[in-house]
Structure 1
Amino acid sequence: MPAARPDEFDVEVDDAAVVDLAARLVRLRTVHEGPGDVERPAAELLAELMRDFGWAVTSVEAAPGRPSVIGVVDGGRPGRTLMFEGHVDVVTEGDPGSWSFDPYAGDIMDGRLRGRGSADMKAGVAAMLHAARAVELGGFAGRIVVGVLADEEGMMLGAKRFAADLVAGSLAGIDRIDGVIVGEPEGGEVCPVAKGAIRLVITFTGAMAHGAMPWMGRNPLPAIAAMLAAIADTQHVLRAAHGDHPLLGPICLTPTVLQAGDLEQINVMPATATVALDIRTTPAVVHAALITQLADTAGRIAQDAGLTAQVTVIDDRPPVDTPVDHPVVQAMLAGHRAATGADAVIGGVPGATDGTILTRDAGLATVVYGPGGKWIAHQADEYVPVADIATCTRAYVAAARHFLGD
């Protein structure tokens, strides 16, 4: 594949190097599946490449064996600081038999880079790293931070650690960040908004009893049924009040996990029953009020049944709503236009990204844009078009130059 013409962005982009890096990353099975060296093989590869470029590189463990890699590129002149952000942990491939090829092939067939993590989001990581290098070689003012943060597919521990360190002023070579481009796959859309997410668990506790003598205990299972009905009612009320967000769609309160006692003991009435919720919100929803409402509802249901209720918030990620006129959004729109010759569609992220945490915990302005289809993530036969990788790399170059100046 030819490099970009120098007159396009006044810098050259090596398409072959970008795709090669993405393919090498895909071949590494960096599956988020609990403790262990999940990101380490990919993190070491990226850190070595960044050091070869001459960047200042820091590796920070968000959890044991879970390193984030942060590269800082100094333009040598005062100016803004732009961050490119991504992750290299991936979800499991699931049943390999559901794939029509090796989940970690990292090969190119019919113009597609194939394999788990190709779209979500190792191609984006490769694109942002090489885009930063291209901008550096062309000369710029300010700084570029390339952050590959751990545990995005889990509790986003890398983003939380990075945000905390930034607020504390303990990140080497980084005193501020003026805008963040998150490289998640969005099908060519520039996404300044993202849904919020609340993960919570509601547990009802009664008293165990023999299934033949239920009057000797207090059964929490009917309370779960009542709670499920109340959750559906709450979702209906919220949707009626706020409607669908034009970029994010509907508010969703989705029960995802049900658990009650020992499923093998059919003759035992359990003492506890639990429902877990994955709640996805739009900027119209006040999270604290919704959590309080659900807790009050669970409390009333429990009281009526002679039970106790406990609501545990596992994580609370507010929606992202970066103004379209913010410089980082305008830069990404300009970058897409420069790379494609067309105006970008302004879209929304259906799930949360690390950008959600960077906005929540550090007040950073974020926008999401990256190679690959918007809905391909986490599916079998994951792929990313090679042409998307090249286009996105150029868009990142142009966005950075627009944001930082040259």
Structure 2
Amino acid sequence: MQTDDVIDQIDGPWIAQETLRLVEVPSVTLQEQQVCRLYEQQLRDLGLEVQVREVTPGRTNLYACLGGTGGGPTLMLNGHLDTIPNQNQQPVRRDGDLLYGRGTTDMKGGMAAILGAVRGLQRAGVRLRGDLLLTAVVGHEEPEAKKDGPLAMIDDLNQGRITCDRIVIVEGPDALWVMSMGSMVFTITLESERGGTHTQYVAFRDNPLRFLGDALSRIDALQRELDQGLVHPLAGPERIDLGIVQAGDYFNRIPTTCTLTGTRRWAPGRQAETVLAELQSLIDPIARDGGLRARVSMEHQREPFETPPDDPLVEAVAHAHRRVTSSEAEVVGKRIVGDANLYVHGSGIPTIYYGPSNETAHADIENVSIRRLESAARVYALSAMEYCGFE
């Protein structure tokens, strides 16, 4: 069977070698120029046509295509080439089955695994009907980049410069990650019209800090309601969390402005503006009671996404996982957000995640298993065969 040939032709040591080549090149967000050039060469070494899309000078998205014979849908395998900073300067090395270094699991290992998948298809003589796209983006990790690489790719999809029917992001656990909640960073601002003045001239019942406490109590009550409300079967209850409280400038002056900043995560089926309006409704009664001005602002947001379990891509990856691992793929959802949220809502293309692993992503000591890289590459190749069709 051709699937057996493909499995046999996917070579863990080769994938490990290509992973280490990538990891040896530092590529902190906004400093990806050198790794982009290396990955472009790795793609060309496989005989693939590569489209170089400049995002900012020297920083490029890369779009490569393993062309099909025609008559099948197009699948994209996607990931990012940038990493978080390597604060501990951990050395790049191999130790038995593990590869160490910043980016091994997040996510240069996955980017090497898709190279291994294409190489295995080629060496087994498989001719896909649909096209298989391999795309690499910059600007994923650090906020300073403002997701410029993923957003540039969305623009290219919408303008027809590249096309596909489904996307697999080769990041995360070796599971079918098919949904993520929406997420926003919000700030609640309470402002006093009387301005700052000595605390002895204002009763505590009129101090804006008391109403800040009321806001905290209402947020606590909201979380308890969410815990008892509609619970998503994959991601659990919605969440509201706080990380920053700011108020006051001196110990015996009432504050003019009090702020709460946090995150709100919500399930598919609602939009950010609706969730923001609910927060405003939560705070407005407190402001009226205290004679305060209340404003709820949204710093940035990602809408939720969910790809149904009977989607052809989900089924193809599930079948491939079963064939490669002799086990059923876990179907998961998460509260965290990522590029799939952007791709689904920006381009309308159904998207899922399936990665080699993510246990040590952003960890002080980051590593990835060669065995799991090889397994993931096999899953990517067999998924492409089922989804795109082959001859």
For normalisation by structure 1, the TM-score amounts to 0.84
* Aligned twin of 1:372: 357
Compute the displacement of 1:212 (Å): 5.5
Compute the displacement of 1:110 (Å): 4.0
Deviates more, 1:37-46 or 1:298-307: 298-307
The 5 A counterparts of 1:7-22 are 7-9=4-6, 12-22=9-19
SS in 2 for 1:290: helix
1:85 aligns with 2:78: yes
- Counterparts of 1:29 and 1:198 in 2: how far apart (Å)? 30
Whether contact under 8 Å (1:208, 1:268) holds in the other structure is: no
Query: 5+ unaligned residues in a row in structure 1: which ranges?
Result: 97-101
SS in 2 for 1:323: coil
Q: 1:112 aligns with which of 81, 98, 108?
A: 98
The alignment-based identity, stated in percent, is 28
Whether contact under 8 Å (1:190, 1:333) holds in the other structure is: yes
Deviates more, 1:326-335 or 1:108-117: 108-117
Compute the displacement of 1:221 (Å): 4.1
SS in 1 for 2:76: strand
The 5 A counterparts of 1:14-163 are 14-32=11-29, 37-62=30-55, 66-94=59-87, 96=88, 102-103=89-90, 105-137=91-123, 138-153=126-141, 154=143, 155-163=146-154
SS in 2 for 1:209: coil
* Aligned twin of 2:186: 200
* Aligned twin of 1:335: 320
Q: How far does the alpha carbon of each residue in 1:302-340 deviate from its partner, in whole angstroms, 9 at most, with x for none?
A: 333333233222333222211111111111111112221
Q: 1:388 aligns with which of 365, 372, 377?
A: 372
Residues 1:152 and 1:211: Cα distance change in structure 2 (over 3 Å):
farther
Deviates more, 1:391-400 or 1:105-114: 105-114
SS in 2 for 1:126: helix
For normalisation by structure 2, the TM-score amounts to 0.87
* Aligned twin of 2:156: 165
- Counterparts of 2:165 and 2:230 in 1: how far apart (Å)? 32
Amino acid at match of 2:228: A
Whether contact under 8 Å (1:24, 1:106) holds in the other structure is: no
Residues 1:110 and 1:252: Cα distance change in structure 2 (over 3 Å):
farther
SS in 2 for 1:38: coil
SS in 2 for 1:51: helix
- Counterparts of 1:65 and 1:220 in 2: how far apart (Å)? 50
1:314 aligns with 2:305: no
Residues 1:284 and 1:214: Cα distance change in structure 2 (over 3 Å):
farther
Whether contact under 8 Å (1:59, 1:69) holds in the other structure is: yes
Residues 1:205 and 1:14: Cα distance change in structure 2 (over 3 Å):
same
Compute the displacement of 1:371 (Å): 0.8
Compute the displacement of 1:161 (Å): 2.4
Deviates more, 1:319-328 or 1:192-201: 192-201
- Counterparts of 1:209 and 1:76 in 2: how far apart (Å)? 73
SS in 2 for 1:259: strand
* Aligned twin of 1:252: 239
Whether contact under 8 Å (2:7, 2:120) holds in the other structure is: no
Compute the displacement of 1:213 (Å): 6.0
Compute the displacement of 1:389 (Å): 0.7
Residues 1:8 and 1:52: Cα distance change in structure 2 (over 3 Å):
closer
* Aligned twin of 2:282: 297
Q: How far does the alpha carbon of each residue in 1:354-386 deviate from its partner, in whole angstroms, 9 at most, with x for none?
A: 11111111111112111124x432222222112
SS in 2 for 1:242: coil
Query: 5+ unaligned residues in a row in structure 2: which ranges?
Result: none
Residues 1:131 and 1:366: Cα distance change in structure 2 (over 3 Å):
same
Please identify runs of 4+ aligned residues in structure 1 that moved more than 6 A. Answer: none
CA RMSD, Structure 1 to Structure 2 (Å)? 2.8
SS in 1 for 2:229: helix
Residues 1:291 and 1:6: Cα distance change in structure 2 (over 3 Å):
closer
Compute the displacement of 1:57 (Å): 2.2
Compute the displacement of 1:28 (Å): 3.2
Amino acid at match of 1:395: V
Deviates more, 1:133-142 or 1:265-274: 265-274
Q: How far does the alpha carbon of each residue in 1:202-231 deviate from its partner, in whole angstroms, 9 at most, with x for none?
A: 233336525556649x96544433322222
Residues 1:161 and 1:205: Cα distance change in structure 2 (over 3 Å):
farther
Residues 1:55 and 1:8: Cα distance change in structure 2 (over 3 Å):
closer
SS in 2 for 1:249: coil
- Counterparts of 1:365 and 1:387 in 2: how far apart (Å)? 29
Compute the displacement of 1:240 (Å): 1.2
Residues 1:240 and 1:129: Cα distance change in structure 2 (over 3 Å):
same
Alignment size in residue pairs: 382
Whether contact under 8 Å (2:229, 2:237) holds in the other structure is: no
Amino acid at match of 1:345: E
Deviates more, 1:207-216 or 1:228-237: 207-216
Residues 1:93 and 1:282: Cα distance change in structure 2 (over 3 Å):
farther
SS in 2 for 1:80: coil
Amino acid at match of 2:230: H
Compute the displacement of 1:166 (Å): 1.2
- Counterparts of 1:205 and 1:194 in 2: how far apart (Å)? 34
